[in-house]
Structure 1
Amino acid sequence: MKATWEKIEKNLGVLEVEVEADRVAAALDKAFQKVAKRANVPGFRKGKVPRPIFEARFGVESLYQDAIDILLPEVYSEAVDQTDIFPVDRPEVDVEQFAKGQPFKFKAKITVKPEVKLGEYKGVEVPAVTVEVSEEELNSELERLQQRHAELVVVDEEPAQNGDTVVIDFDGSVDGVPFEGGQAERYSLELGSNTFIPGFEEQVVGLATGDFKDVTVTFPDTYHAEELAGKEAVFKVKVHEIKRKQLPELDDEFAKDVSEFDTLAEFKEDLKKQLSSRKEQEAKATREGALVDKIGENAEVEIPEAMINGEVDNMVRDFDNRLRSQGMNLDMFLGFSGQTVDDLRGQMQGDAEKRVRNNLVLEAIAKAEKIEVTQDEINKELNDMAEAYKRTPEEIRNILAANGSLGSLNEEVLIRKTIEFLLENSKEVPAEQAEAKTKEAKPAAKKTTKKSTKAESKADADKTEAEEAQDEE
């Protein structure tokens, strides 16, 4: 097989491929075996018609498309490897020649991963972040734990207020006609949570146990169910029960209930240490984010739209998975928020572009500095994952291999090593100094959004795990 690559503009090029005639013949054989199983030829059972009779009746050309479908993915992959390119989108394939006894020739117009022109990435200044835990932060954490361990107590003689949980029946209709999903019995709704259509919860505030009320609301114009978008709806609401949070006292008994300590003083001291550790993790993530953002802005790279759209796809999918872990899904979220998928994708566009840019720059730095991932590092990663998921390292490896994710694991480790390298070669300066320099450079800087790197995502996950561990205690 012969393959040549010619760049025609920016990140676009043409891959020209010629495949030997004997491979065309082999693909035609496979195509015939496939087609013969369903070919209906008088005098022969399906799958038993001889090849010459099949070609005489239907023509060898009837096998061409199936043969191309069999051969093209295989030789395209080989040609990509042979020319050492990195496609980031589906190719536009133009078949120039495909016939029995002749070579297979095709051209593919391909968008490839862009080249990165690195700017300054060593000695970059990043703001110092304090990790000292203030008394206010400690008290705020204690209040959060109070809220988490509060008991819901039934309120019989007072009207509902924000923060209360009401147990209600509701029956919704538009122009007197009930609509799907608009009815429920004994539904628990926390007032002020903003989980219902705007205006609904506010009208339930002030109702008492046993009260009835017609709640009138208007669906947002961007509501996901088009037949309801912009329509006025009436919900007949009945209040069965009102529950209010009763906070526990902050005393030694509270400390015993939520921790392994016997006194509140001991618990507060330990909590302060945990908050300090958490702040150190957050500070490291903040330094990493600021550093990678600056280095990304210093580089020059033209990002293909396909890469940004692909990252948006990943972000939407991850968001949906997080919602499902909380008992929701994307459709429910869009309904409650009055947004469309396009609205959500639009909000993620800037962040996606920044993530792609930063990761491309980090990959280029890793290549320039010859940073590589060792097998021992991959094994350590697999062992850590195995411990976290209560599996064996071999099971984790097999799962990743089956999902085609082993390469992604290598990339994740490489990105982390590169960020560590950049941190070691950065300069930490007072936040005020860094802010002043940022303002001076702002007119030349490109607009970006928060949280763009894989390292930041990991830091967010680490933070969540630390909070959950604290709550369990």
Structure 2
Amino acid sequence: MKSAVETLTPTRAKLTVEVPFEELKPSLDAAYKKIAQQINVPGFRRGKVPAAIIDRQVGREVVLQEAVQDLVPQKYMEALQENDLQPLAQPEIEVTNLAPDEQLEFTAEVDVKPTIELPEYDGIEAGVDDLEVTDADVEEQVAALRERFGTLSDVERPAADGDFVVIDLLATQGGEPVEGAEVSQMSYQVGRGGMIEGLDEALLGLSAGEDKVFTTQLVGGDLVGEDVEVSVRVSQVQEQELPELDDDFAQEASEFDTYEELTEDVRDRLRNGKRLEQAAAARDAVLEVLLEKVDVPLPESVVAEELTARRQSVEQQLAQAGMTMQAYLDDEGQTVDEFEADLEKRVRDAVAAQFILDEIAKKEELGVDQNELSQHLVRRAQQSGQDPQEFANHMFAHNHIPDLVQEILRGKALASIVESATVTDASGNVVEMRNLRPDGSIASAEEVAAAEAADAGDESVEDDADGSAEDVQGAEGAEGETAEDDTTKE
């Protein structure tokens, strides 16, 4: 087989492949056998029809087409490997010569990974916002905890902002109930929002046993964006009584003896959480600096496919939240054009980042072991709310494991870049990244030293194991050579 590659664009290539007839012959023989099993010819048993008879019955061209369908995918893959091309999509294949008893010729156009000249990525400098935990942040968290320990008591007065009410809701249009737009005995806090527009205003001033009708628009179902009449009836009005913020509350709501200890723990937890957010921002900032250092040509087909997937994901999330796209854009203060422009930029940056990180992983010769793959499978299963074993079975059955391995490699490549980077906050302080724990706390020097010592011990054990494995392989190789020698002598 001979192959040649023509670069059409930095991200698209055209392969021209020539396959001699002798390489086509095994596929041709297999095609004759397959067709012989499918046709009935008087005087011949099924599967025993000679090739010459098949040529007269169905035509030599049909047999050639069958052989080509079997051989072209195989030769296409060989041509990709021969020319060191990494395809990003299915190829457009055209058979240019299929004359009987002559060589097979075909072309294949396909989007491929671009060639990237990696910039210097060691010691990147980037900046992030300051990590700040305010008293207001702490008060908000304590207030949420306080509400969990609040008690509700019935009151004989109209509902006010902050009260809890038990309500029935029914939406109608043209006097007919709207399917799926009815709830009964639902507890709701007045002023909380998140339900349907106009509900809070309708509830204010209603007492138990009273109802009210108001006009609004549904955010889900077949009548999205259309006016409907909603009837709300209140059966209970309850006032929330909150505990005093003192040592007794701290002992009831936590393991701490004093309120001061409780608030300090809340502050620490908030600081750890914001440290994780800062670390995520630092990774994004480092990656953004790296993207600015190199121009990555992007295949438009890959960008378009990713754009479609992202749009569908946003639409699904909004549907699950019972929110329209327009309502989402209003909350974000964006127009449709601004949303699309922002989405396309993020997609292009994401695709470019994948290509760059793939090249860095390749250059640094990063690898993935079984434990890392298993942990990644479990993490991805948890993120999607699936059983880990079922998720793993699906990934293996649909050959998605190479994609997961590539995800891990990209993560390791980015982690190595971030660890070597210098990230500072707005006040000029260096952001700690290397010794950051998963909970947002910082490991001490003693803990880091102990972990490094443990890693060194593990590597020693692995070296011993590798050596033992090599000894076994060497012994097996020697036995194999002896067996081959004996066979040769016989």
Using the size of structure 2 for normalisation, the TM-score is: 0.67
1:284 partner amino acid: A
Q: In the alignment, which residue of structure 1 is the partner of 2:115?
A: 115
Aligned length: 420
User: Would you say 1:210 and 2:212 are equivalent positions?
Assistant: no
For residue 300 of structure 1, report the CA deviation from its aligned partner.
0.9
Distance 1:153 1:66 in 2: 79
Q: In the alignment, which residue of structure 2 is the partner of 1:259?
A: 254
Q: In the alignment, which residue of structure 1 is the partner of 2:365?
A: 372
Q: 1:108 is paired with a residue of what secondary structure?
A: strand
- Is the 8 Å Cα contact of residues 316 and 345 (structure 1) preserved in structure 2? no
Cα distance 1:387–1:350, how it changes in 2: closer, same or farther (>3 A)? closer
Q: 1:282 aligns with which of 261, 264, 277?
A: 277
Q: In the alignment, which residue of structure 1 is the partner of 2:28?
A: 25
Instruction: Using the aligned pairs only, state the percent identity.
Output: 26
Q: In the alignment, which residue of structure 1 is the partner of 2:266?
A: 271
Q: 1:157 is paired with a residue of what secondary structure?
A: coil
Please give the per-residue CA displacement for 1:370-390, whole angstroms capped at 9, x wherever unaligned.
3232455x5345358669989
Q: In the alignment, which residue of structure 1 is the partner of 2:158?
A: 158
Structure with greater contact order relative to length (CA < 8 Å, sep ≥ 6): 1
Cα distance 1:132–1:21, how it changes in 2: closer, same or farther (>3 A)? same
User: Would you say 1:357 and 2:360 are equivalent positions?
Assistant: no
Distance 2:258 2:152 in 1: 25
Q: 2:114 is paired with a residue of what secondary structure?
A: coil
**Matched ranges for 1:74-153 at <5 A:** 74-98=74-98, 101-119=101-119, 121-127=121-127, 130-131=130-131, 133-148=133-148, 150=150
Cα distance 1:380–1:87, how it changes in 2: closer, same or farther (>3 A)? closer
Q: In the alignment, which residue of structure 1 is the partner of 2:480?
A: none
Distance 1:178 1:67 in 2: 63
For residue 133 of structure 1, report the CA deviation from its aligned partner.
4.1
Distance 1:206 1:348 in 2: 44
Distance 2:49 2:200 in 1: 74
Distance 1:184 1:385 in 2: 39
1:5 partner amino acid: V
User: Would you say 1:298 and 2:293 are equivalent positions?
Assistant: yes
2:93 partner amino acid: V
Q: In the alignment, which residue of structure 2 is the partner of 1:239?
A: 234
Q: In the alignment, which residue of structure 2 is the partner of 1:382?
A: 374
For residue 111 of structure 1, report the CA deviation from its aligned partner.
1.6
Unaligned residue ranges in structure 2 (runs of 5+): 330-335, 441-490
For residue 84 of structure 1, report the CA deviation from its aligned partner.
1.9
Please give the per-residue CA displacement for 1:56-91, whole angstroms capped at 9, x wherever unaligned.
554455566666555544443343333222222332
Q: In the alignment, which residue of structure 2 is the partner of 1:452?
A: none
For the pair shown, the structure with the greater C-alpha radius of gyration is: 2
1:215 partner amino acid: F
Q: 1:158 is paired with a residue of what secondary structure?
A: coil
Distance 1:90 1:187 in 2: 52
Distance 1:101 1:49 in 2: 23
Please tell me the root mean square deviation across aligned C-alpha atoms, in Å.
4.7
Cα distance 1:150–1:182, how it changes in 2: closer, same or farther (>3 A)? same
For residue 303 of structure 1, report the CA deviation from its aligned partner.
1.8
- Is the 8 Å Cα contact of residues 36 and 47 (structure 2) preserved in structure 1? no
Distance 2:67 2:289 in 1: 51
1:413 partner amino acid: I
Cα distance 1:408–1:160, how it changes in 2: closer, same or farther (>3 A)? farther
Q: In the alignment, which residue of structure 2 is the partner of 1:441?
A: none
For residue 293 of structure 1, report the CA deviation from its aligned partner.
0.8
Distance 2:376 2:144 in 1: 31
Distance 1:256 1:313 in 2: 52
1:21 partner amino acid: L
- Is the 8 Å Cα contact of residues 28 and 67 (structure 1) preserved in structure 2? yes
Q: 1:159 is paired with a residue of what secondary structure?
A: coil
Q: 2:116 is paired with a residue of what secondary structure?
A: coil
**Matched ranges for 1:145-224 at <5 A:** 145-148=145-148, 150=150, 157-159=157-159, 161=161, 164=164, 166-173=166-173, 175-187=174-186, 195-199=194-198, 202-218=201-217
Q: 2:159 is paired with a residue of what secondary structure?
A: coil
Distance 2:231 2:60 in 1: 70
Distance 1:332 1:49 in 2: 65
Distance 1:134 1:187 in 2: 35
Cα distance 1:22–1:63, how it changes in 2: closer, same or farther (>3 A)? closer
Cα distance 1:138–1:161, how it changes in 2: closer, same or farther (>3 A)? closer
- Is the 8 Å Cα contact of residues 296 and 357 (structure 1) preserved in structure 2? yes
Q: 1:352 is paired with a residue of what secondary structure?
A: helix
For residue 395 of structure 1, report the CA deviation from its aligned partner.
9.7
- Is the 8 Å Cα contact of residues 13 and 111 (structure 1) preserved in structure 2? yes
Please give the per-residue CA displacement for 1:170-207, whole angstroms capped at 9, x wherever unaligned.
1322x445444334444555655654454455444444
Q: 1:169 is paired with a residue of what secondary structure?
A: strand
Distance 2:279 2:366 in 1: 22
Q: 1:76 is paired with a residue of what secondary structure?
A: helix
- Is the 8 Å Cα contact of residues 6 and 15 (structure 2) preserved in structure 1? yes
1:360 partner amino acid: F
Distance 1:433 1:266 in 2: 31
For residue 50 of structure 1, report the CA deviation from its aligned partner.
5.0
For residue 18 of structure 1, report the CA deviation from its aligned partner.
3.5
1:3 partner amino acid: S
- Is the 8 Å Cα contact of residues 200 and 216 (structure 1) preserved in structure 2? no
Distance 1:66 1:330 in 2: 48
Distance 1:51 1:177 in 2: 73
Cα distance 1:97–1:278, how it changes in 2: closer, same or farther (>3 A)? same
Q: In the alignment, which residue of structure 1 is the partner of 2:403?
A: 408
